[in-house]
Structure 1
Amino acid sequence: MGGWKRVAGSIALIAATTACGNHAPPADPPSSTDTITSTTRTPRVVDESGRSAITFDPCLDLPDDVLVEAEFDPRSKRPSEYPMESYTFLGCSFKSTFSAFDDDRLSVLAGNVTLEEEWEKNAHISTHTNINGRDALFQLDPNNKNTCAITVRTEFGMVIFSRTRFPDDARSLPLNEWCADLDQAVALFEPHLDQ
């Protein structure tokens, strides 16, 4: 297994707080001499490949309420990054909040690699599909025990959503259980990929 699939495979699979109302008077509006802070975020990692900058950070851009709806714990997020010479991946992993198994882990990898390049490398485990009308690849490798992935096209490249299930008895689950409901979770995340 080479290239970015090795990067994806090497990711360690792994709340919002609310404030009470405050009765202080409202702050004065900023004067024309006040400095205005830019809302543009600097990418976590930038490579020198000439490829597009990755504008989606899985640890920052998946809203907590959407993660909760998809049954993943926002507090469990673990960032990772893989700058390479010719491409980059930003990653984040999340632990499931509900599973019929002992543990589910979701790894989200945003990369400036095209969906076509991913197809060229992994057509043998991939099937063309779409998520909310967006081009995607459904990826199931029988040699990657209890793991299923959906890779989605983005403006900067692609995002891989890879889930691994860990039953408490360490058995290999039936293939139909590897991917169950993953497409529903990815459909919840898809609207946030190019914002």
Structure 2
Amino acid sequence: MGRWGIVALAALAVMGTACSPGSADDVAVGDETATTTTRTPRITDDSGRPPVAFDPCYDIPDDVMNAAGYDAAKKEVADYPMGTHTFLGCTYRKDDHVPGVRRGYNLSILAGNVSLDEELAKNGAVATEISINGRRALLEVNPANKDACTYVLQSDFGIVSFLRLYNKDRPGPVPESEWCTDMDELVSAIEPIIDN
């Protein structure tokens, strides 16, 4: 498993990292003061790559995640400064327990300043090029990474990755055809928020 895969899996396991968002800047406009939504990234690196301009925990509205069945009140912030690149992450749980089928899902959303082409070069063996709302993207399903589904979207600063882990509640394997069930809808709902 590559370094970014380890980052994504670590994000699923991370609980309780606390961080507060950078404050919005006030900009004087005529006699009025307008507040911009631009914030200073929580983490930057000295790689020369673009700063990660999308922060999943602070830029995805809670009502979007709540509508998708994830409890946004329990989201967990995660940061992954790697020196040569950076990832800002957020983890969510969806506890829609179906006895004998599943306990729910863990979802990690990571925004990083690596390119989609770098991601494709790293995971090309398990990646399929797709489009989400007209945006270039990858769907990654790795048979060695059981019960996991990953969507990776291109952005102005790099990529946004959505990794969902299916928490089964039954013996035996979950059919691979179920690993990505309903993920397309969630990713499509969040896609317009990226780079805005």
Do both share a fold (TM > 0.5)?
yes
SS of the equivalent of 1:149 reads: strand
CA–CA distance in structure 2, aligned partners of residues 78 and 128 of structure 1 = 29
Question: Do the aligned partners of residues 182 and 37 (structure 1) sit closer, same or farther apart at CA in structure 2, a change above 3 Å counting?
Answer: closer
Partner of 2:183: 182
Query: Would the aligned equivalents of 1:70 and 1:188 in 2 still touch at CA under 8 Å?
Result: no
| 65-74 or 37-46: bigger deviation | 37-46
CA distance in 1, matches of 2:59, 2:32: 28
Tell me the TM-score normalised to structure 1 length.
0.85
Aligned in 2, Cα 1:180/1:43: closer, same or farther, shift over 3 Å?
A: same
Gaps spanning 5+ residues in structure 2: where? 16-29
TM-superposition CA deviations, 1:147-193 (whole Å, max 9, x none): 00100001100000010011123642000110111011100110111
> How has the CA–CA distance of structure 1 residues 71 and 50 changed in structure 2, closer, same or farther, with 3 Å as cutoff?
same
Q: Say whether the 8 Å CA contact 1:53–1:112 is kept in structure 2.
A: yes
Q: In the alignment, residue 182 of structure 2 is paired with which amino acid?
A: D
Counterpart in the other structure of 2:10? 10
What RMSD, in angstroms, separates the aligned Cα atoms of the two structures? 2.2
What SS class does the counterpart of residue 124 from structure 1 fall into?
A: helix
Larger Rg computed on CA atoms:
1
* Structure 2 partner of 1:192: 193
TM-score by length of 2: 0.84
Show CA shifts across 1:96-140 (max 9, x none): 153542121110010000000000000001000011110000000
Structure 1 unmatched ranges of 5 or more: 15-31
- Where 1:136 maps in the other structure, the secondary structure is strand
Identity %: 43
Q: Please name the residue that 1:136 is paired with.
A: 137
The equivalent of 1:73 in structure 2 is: 71
Do structure 1's residue 172 and structure 2's residue 173 form an aligned pair? Answer: yes
Deviations 1:4-32 (A, max 9, x none): 22211211347xxxxxxxxxxxxxxxxx9
In the alignment of these two chains, the number of paired residues is: 179
Q: Partner amino acid for 1:105?
A: N
2: CA distance, partners of 1:43 / 1:124: 32
- 1:120 is matched with 121
